[in-house]
Chains A and B, each alone.
Chain A
Amino acid sequence: MNGDLFTLLAPELIVIGGAVLALLLGLGASPGARSAPRALALLSVFAAFLVTWYYGPSPAKPLELAGMRFDSLAYYIRLIALSVGALVLLVHWHLPHPAERGDVFAMILFSLAGIMLTSLANDLVLLFLTIELVSIPTYILVSIGRSDIRAQEAGLKYFFLGTLSAALLVYGFSFLYGAAGTTNLSRMQLSPAGGFVTIGLLLAFAGVAFKIAAAPFHVYAADVYQGAAAPVTGLLGFFPKVAGFVALIKLLFLMQPSDLLTAGWNMPGAAFVFLWVVAAATMTLGNVLGLMQTNVKRMLAYSSIAHSGYMLVALLAGPVASGGPLRDGLSAMLFYIVVYGIMNLGAFAVLALIQARGRPAEELDDLAGLGRREPLAALALAICVFSLMGLPPTAGFFAKVYVFSAAISNGAAGWHGLSLIVLAVIGLINSAIAAGYYLRIVATCYLREPVAEPIAEPRTAGIRLGLLGCCIAILVIGVWPGGLLYMSRLPFYDLSAPPAVATHSNAQSPEPAETTEQVYAKEMNS
């Protein structure tokens, strides 16, 4: 991988090219042309995945070029976005009306490209633009092809609040620019003591909180999830969240001393308190409100809010050099977000499957007796919901192990470390609360008698394939978490190396492993 921008950006270009072609083909008159977009979309995602895989993680010294930074974080985010993206495409396979197929698949691809570019962005302006590139297609996806008044309301609400959050984000960025005098993230090196920095960060966090549906910016989530079609909702639980969390990581790294990742984040006290309160409130509100729902989609919307809270816990614990993966909140968060994306998508895929078979899948009652009616769909839903609950042997369990282990073992001196343990305990109590409504979903499927039969059996192979992919991923990661764990650790090593700009020449940056070792040795000696 060398410095040619077009070569480096090949995965993104493939995805965007696929999107543009899908848009054009969707306009075609013949049925053949109209069904082409989805195959094309899937193909371009596969191609982009292969290219990214071929490039591999970045070398010890990440390349910086044109406001972008080609590091292992980008590598990891690209890979997971493309793999989950493929599942998202499969789940959308039968949903849109043939006339809208081009639009829908193009929007998914644009949003996907947005995530990949967000992970590359190394400039405030580009970061803002790429986050919007993720968001704007989702506004369209929520309301496209839905004549339902609720879908229209959802789309409108989502759009207006999204715009507001974008405004907050850009306002915050302007403060950060004011404090640093540059928009290049590698050169910013902010000091957490500055008032400008604190205001800028808080505003930017507020903007991001909307993307990840964190309290108090979560209010739209339930309405939007309820209004949107089930597959789109599955997408909403992943795409904007990834973009939001990547942005948060990038912002938090602005204040890290270049060579040091030993003791978590170096952020202003106010920002820590803000994120702590947001995390605790997000988990608690999400789960308590989730308990009160009778609509499955709203329930899962609140669960999505709560899971953002868990991810914030891990993010707040931050990267800690010594102690390995179980102490590293950053990789725990990166691990969690994939697992969450897959299990959430799987749950919505089941709802989409039921709808495709001609039954409603809105209220809890609609799921009654699913275990008898459609045993395999019910089994898939049970796997996804047990994973959301965090029961072994699913991926959700290990995601929980990593997240809460990072918070508990942070061990920062004074109130910092203790407050993280308290946060972890709040999170675990929340998992117990959440079990209340997750269990209702499973119980409705298996313990109640069926009320209705599927009335239509249209082609649902795509959804079923996507669902199968989700379930296999959940179980495989649940039994063998090592692979994903290793992948999610890559960004940590990369980010803990000095940025390329700072050490301009190709001088050896210390081996990451060595850094860890040294820090560890230091700790043991002290």
Chain B
Amino acid sequence: MLFLQEWILTLLIVLPLVGAVAVAIAGAGGRPLVPRSGENHDEPRGPRLGQMALAFSLATGVLTILAVALFFTATSETGQNLARAGGFALVQDLTWVADSETARRQIDFRYHLGVDGLSIWLVALTAFITPLSIWASFSGIRHRQREYYALMLLLEASVIGVFCARDLLLFYIFFEFTLIPLFFIIGIWGGPQKWAAAGKFFLYTFAGSMLTFAGVLYLAWQAARQGGVFTFDIDTLYRLQLTEREQFWLFLAFTAGFAIKVPLFPFHTWLPLAHTEAPTAGSVLLAGLLLKLGTYGFLRFNLPMLPAATQELAPLVAVLAIIGIIYGALVAWVQDDFKRLVAYSSVSHLGFCMLGMFALNQAGLTGSVLYMINHGLSTGALFLVIGMIYERYHTRQFDKLGGLARRMPWMAFFLVFFVLSSIALPGLNGFISEFLVLLGTFTSRNPLDGWPAGPLGAPYGVIAAVGIILSAVYMLAMVQRLLFGQLKEPEHTPDTSGGLRPDLTRREITILTPIALACLILGVYPKPVIDSIQPAAQQQVLAWVYAGDTDAAFAGAIAPRDAGAPARSAGPGAKEGGEDKDRLSRSTVGFSQSGFATCFSRWGEDQSPGFFPFSDFSRIPDSAVPEVTHR
């Protein structure tokens, strides 16, 4: 069991990798390595490769369920449940590159994996979405299947790697590596403008991440200056003491890479093209998973590592996020290509995600992480449904299609369902996260007792809320134009080659049903997810963001998070007794199990929850007020 606890994340990365190699080798068998022209590269070897890839990704999914179970049962040495305490579990920490030339170790690259409440759900999302998109590709991908399925598995491995990495260099390696498979997936199997889309996607992201790379190296150097070892270990980097000026520049450097990935407003221009031109599964993974790498990067690095800059620049990021919300929604509204419409809706939705994150409070952060998961589910599913329509009609233009509800009732059901999830209908998953994001934004400036004031406030929330209305407008307009009214189809359609029927096939329904169920479950009973996100958001992000605040509200003793943690001994701040104004004194903070989780925990357990369980945010029990202590 212990062995499994340590190795399961590695297994999650290695299994798809093995699958990729296996598919590549299996596909190569039986035909010459140098194919002659005119040879048929299509079927019949195809479906078997697809099934093989599906088997590998499903096995990864099963392992992920096991990993989630292990995560929730993992306990620290003191017997505390790590998931509830917001800590990291399933940790594997091996030395990767270290110098042995001197007694003092000077570089230290680690193969360090671990998951906390923030990342475990993103890993689960990855392992959930990938097999479904592989399965969905069975009918759409008809040539060069060997490469296709190998690349899909490669992508899965690298995305899981990103979410598990606990070493900044390892994170960056996985982060960069995701570009390669996706570049090929868009470029080979994409739509008419696939080359432009693939190139633009790759170059934009790569250019941004080069600047991030400068920031990464600078942080490692600071680690060496302050601790004597060139290390990229995230825990060590959190404890660095950086001046505000350094933080400002580092924030910009990290933002350059992550904001393009998210994408934050002025950097979004690669997204519509890439999403639209990618094959269905490519769009699903791009929207469902790859965009989350950006938000996850902000969450994991910008916020906890650069708290001063985060608090200073949060209004700016929030304004960009709000522009993205409104602008994305307005542009989506006027699209005449429905895949493009959904692509622009991602710009709008990710704006909410960023807004909640930069509210810098528990509600906002929890909502933001939940938003990542929900957006992955609902937008991923929307892309799947749209792909299914496209396979039958070979067009994505509104003016060529209409009234499809008559022809494809099953499709109509799922499309409406996921649209409702996407526009945050209460009872479906989108609502919870959007509500929390807005709640966080509204209460950011006027927090509850004992909480430090965040940077945002009601005006941000009011404007962002307009985006909700707009999203209902464009999404419902899409449903109306596509599904209802006179039946309108291009000639010689629907295309029923390759085992398709006019309406969804059993395979397609089986693909969409689990996502719909997940949306429903998360909408009705999000407690387990929120219960684990919330303490992690507290411990892994907020504790660091406000660690430097010694305001009255937060005064008191700040207890060291864990006794075994390396004290930040070396460094100028330490010598001057932490009174250094220039370098923020960043002590560690211990929050109790508190606040928000309690609200949710009570739901279904005891007293009547009122109108809606989490609407009653003011009634927080005493235990919820963070136990703030000062070192």
Which residues of A line the B interface, CB within 8 A?
A: 323-327, 371-376, 386, 389, 391-393, 397, 400-401, 404-405, 408-409, 411, 421, 424-425, 428-429, 431-432, 435-436, 439-440, 442-443, 446-447, 450, 453-454, 480-482, 485-486, 489, 493, 513, 516-517, 520, 524
Contact = CB atoms under 8 A, between A and B. Distances in A.
Contact of B213 (A404, A421, A520): A404
A424 to B, nearest CB: 6
Contacts of A516: 102
Contact of B203 (A392, A432, A482, A524): A432
Contacts of B570: 524
A428 B211 contact: yes
Nearest to B173: A392
Q: Tell me if B's interface is mostly helix, strand, loop or mixed.
A: helix
B103 interface: yes
4 nearest interchain CB pairs?
A: A324-B106, A409-B221, A432-B207, A392-B173
A432 B211 CA distance: 9
B206 A435 contact: yes
Contacts of B41: 372
A493 B225 CA distance: 21
A326 B214 contact: no
Contacts of A400: 213
Contacts of A429: 207, 210-211
B195 interface: yes
Contact of B228 (A411, A431, A520): A520
B227 to A, nearest CB: 10
11 contacts: A327-B221, A373-B34, A375-B28, A391-B177, A391-B180, A408-B217, A432-B203, A440-B199, A443-B199, A447-B188, A517-B103
A375 B97 contact: no
A409 B184 CA distance: 35
A421 to B, nearest CB: 8
A311 to B, nearest CB: 17
Interface of B: 28, 33-37, 41, 97-104, 106-107, 147, 169, 172-174, 176-177, 179-180, 183-184, 187-188, 194-195, 198-199, 202-203, 206-207, 210-211, 213-214, 217-218, 220-221, 224-225, 228-230, 570
B214 A404 contact: yes
Contact of B202 (A323, A374, A405, A439): A439
B102 A428 contact: no
Contacts of A404: 213-214, 217
Nearest to B212: A428
Contacts of A397: 173, 176
Contacts of B37: 450, 453
A379 B28 CA distance: 14
A325 B211 contact: no
B32 to A, nearest CB: 10
Contact of A408 (B98, B207, B221): B221
B220 A517 contact: no
A429 B212 CA distance: 11
Contacts of B106: 323-326
A424 B34 contact: no
Contacts of B220: 326, 405, 409
Q: Tell me if A's interface is mostly helix, strand, loop or mixed.
A: helix
Contacts of A405: 217, 220-221, 230
Given A429-B210, A439-B203, A391 B102 contact: no
Contact of A326 (B36, B177, B188, B224): B224
Nearest to B570: A524
Contacts of A374: 33-34
B203 A435 contact: yes
B21 to A, nearest CB: 13
Contact of A376 (B33, B107, B206): B33
A447 B187 contact: yes
Residue among B28, B97, B187, B570 with most chain A CB within 10 A: B97
A405 B213 CA distance: 10
B34 A425 contact: no
A386 B36 CA distance: 27
Contacts of A453: 36-37
A489 B35 contact: no
A443 to B, nearest CB: 6
Contacts of A373: 34-35
A296 B247 CA distance: 42
A517 B102 contact: yes
A486 B101 contact: yes
Given A372-B35, A489-B99, A326 B213 contact: no
B187 A446 contact: yes
Nearest to A371: B147
Contacts of B195: 443, 447
A513 B214 contact: no
B184 A446 contact: yes
A119 B37 CA distance: 51
A482 B224 CA distance: 18
B101 A443 contact: no
B101 A489 contact: yes
A327 B173 CA distance: 20
Contacts of A401: 169, 217
A276 to B, nearest CB: 17
B198 A443 contact: yes
B480 to A, nearest CB: 37
A373 B230 CA distance: 45
Given A373-B34, A435-B206, A489-B99, 15 more contacts: A325-B99, A372-B41, A386-B180, A392-B176, A401-B169, A404-B213, A405-B217, A408-B221, A428-B210, A432-B210, A435-B202, A436-B203, A443-B198, A482-B99, A517-B103
